[in-house]
């Protein structure tokens, strides 16, 4: 067991910086309310080092607190579809030739009302992103990028049409949990059609964690800093795993 606390300038001093707004006017009372609030989060000491009015009814606070709580670092299980097992593009293609023996078909889109295609393009387009080529460039893959604002229904139709192995869903806008509603609808639609087992379902986007994706019924989720090779590695391994079952 390795107990870990935040660090300011001395081991275990527990120092944390916070800032937030309160719906109260700025002033001594507001600052005291801010301080109490920080203490209510289990901080031992709290200093409100700055306050300023945002309007007559709102005020802004900067505070430093000293955390009492700690966590057992050894018990923490990293939950990100991490890139440790990632193969390079060439390795993926070789893997496909060796273990699958046919082209792997992938369909992707930015679904619902979401029009943020840069993320899915980063994964799929020829040119890729940050010196990682996209799936379209993989000789052993067939990649179809349907672009922006694709309804779930249409995406599934297309995946059936091209007999896809995997469907890639990108969701960037998360305000009011719109991504959760949309991602859930996608899985429900698949299930209603009895197609969930047919496809490997991959979700992605800057605020999508693996945990969330799995909770919503996807096989995996990729967040910030994901590259095509991470996704490709996951998909081809999963295909082989599915075959073996």
Contact residues: a second copy, CB under 8 A: 4-8, 11, 15-24, 27-29, 31-33, 36-37, 40-43, 47, 58, 67, 69-71, 73, 76-80, 82, 207
- Residues 9 and 203: their CA atoms lie apart, in Å, by 39
Ranges within 155-174 binding ligand B12 (CB under 6 A): 168-170, 172-174
Q: Smallest distance from the beta carbon of 1 to ligand B12, in angstroms?
A: 34
Write out the two tokens for 96.
């496909």
- Residues 141 and 108: their CA atoms lie apart, in Å, by 13
Q: Do residues 85 and 231 make contact, with C-beta atoms less than 8 angstroms apart?
A: no
Q: Do residues 27 and 33 make contact, with C-beta atoms less than 8 angstroms apart?
A: no
Tell me which DSSP letter residue 26 carries.
S
User: Is 18 a residue that touches ligand B12 (CB under 6 A)?
Assistant: no
Q: Smallest distance from the beta carbon of 142 to other proteins, in angstroms?
A: 20
**β-strands 166-170, 104-110: how paired?**
parallel
Q: Quick one: which of 49, 54, 76, 115 contacts ligand B12 (CB under 6 A)?
A: 115
Single out the catalytic residue among 127, 154, 161, 193: 127
SS3 sequence of 117-146: HHHHHHHHCCCCECCECCHHHCCCEEEEEC
Stretch 124-163: interaction string toward other proteins, x if CB under 8 A = -----------------------xxx--------------
Stretch 179-218: interaction string toward ligand B12, x if CB under 6 A = -----------------------x-xxxx-----------
Give the interface segment with ligand B12, choosing from 12-20, 45-53, 61-69, 225-233 (CB under 6 A): 225-233
Nearest CA-CA partner of 188 in 137, 154, 153: 153
Give which of ligand B12, a second copy, other proteins, none residue 123 binds (C-beta under 5 to 8 Å, depending on kind).
Answer: ligand B12
Exposure string (b/e) for 129-151, b if CB count within 10 Å is 16 or more?
A: beebbbbbbbebbbbbbbebebb
Q: Quick one: which of 3, 4, 12, 17 contacts other proteins (CB under 8 A)?
A: 17
For 28, 42, 67, 85, 191, the CA distances from 34, given in Å and listed in that order, are: 10, 13, 16, 45, 48
Instruction: Mark whether 127 is an active-site residue.
Output: yes
- Residues with active-site annotation: 127
Applying CB under 6 A, the residues found at the interface with ligand B12 are 108, 113-120, 122-123, 129, 168-170, 172-175, 202, 204-207, 222-226, 231
């Amino acid at each position: 067991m390795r107990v870990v606390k935040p660090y300011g300038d001395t081991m275990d001093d527990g120092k944390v910086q916070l800032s937030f707004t309160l719906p109260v006017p700025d002033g001594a009372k507001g600052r005291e309310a801010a301080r109490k609030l920080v203490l209510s989060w289990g901080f031992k000491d709290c200093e409100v080092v700055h306050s300023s009015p945002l309007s007559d009814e709102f005020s802004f606070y900067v505070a430093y607190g000293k955390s009492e709580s700690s966590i057992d670092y050894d018990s923490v299980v990293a939950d990100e579809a991490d890139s440790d097992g990632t193969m390079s593009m060439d390795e993926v293609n070789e893997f496909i030739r060796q273990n699958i023996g046919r082209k792997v078909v992938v369909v992707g889109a930015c679904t619902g009302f979401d029009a943020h295609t840069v993320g899915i393009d980063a994964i799929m387009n020829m040119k890729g992103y940050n010196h990682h080529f996209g799936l379209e460039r993989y000789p052993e893959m067939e990649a179809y990028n349907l672009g922006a604002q694709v309804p779930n229904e249409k995406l599934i139709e297309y995946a059936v049409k091209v007999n896809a192995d995997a469907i890639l869903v990108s969701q960037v806008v998360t305000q009011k949990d719109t991504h959760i509603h949309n991602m859930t609808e996608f899985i429900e639609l698949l299930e209603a059609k009895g197609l969930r087992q047919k496809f490997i379902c991959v979700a992605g986007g800057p605020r999508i964690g693996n945990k969330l994706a799995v909770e919503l019924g996807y096989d995996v989720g990729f967040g910030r800093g994901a590259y095509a090779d991470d996704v490709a590695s996951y998909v081809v391994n999963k295909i082989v795993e599915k075959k073996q079952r």
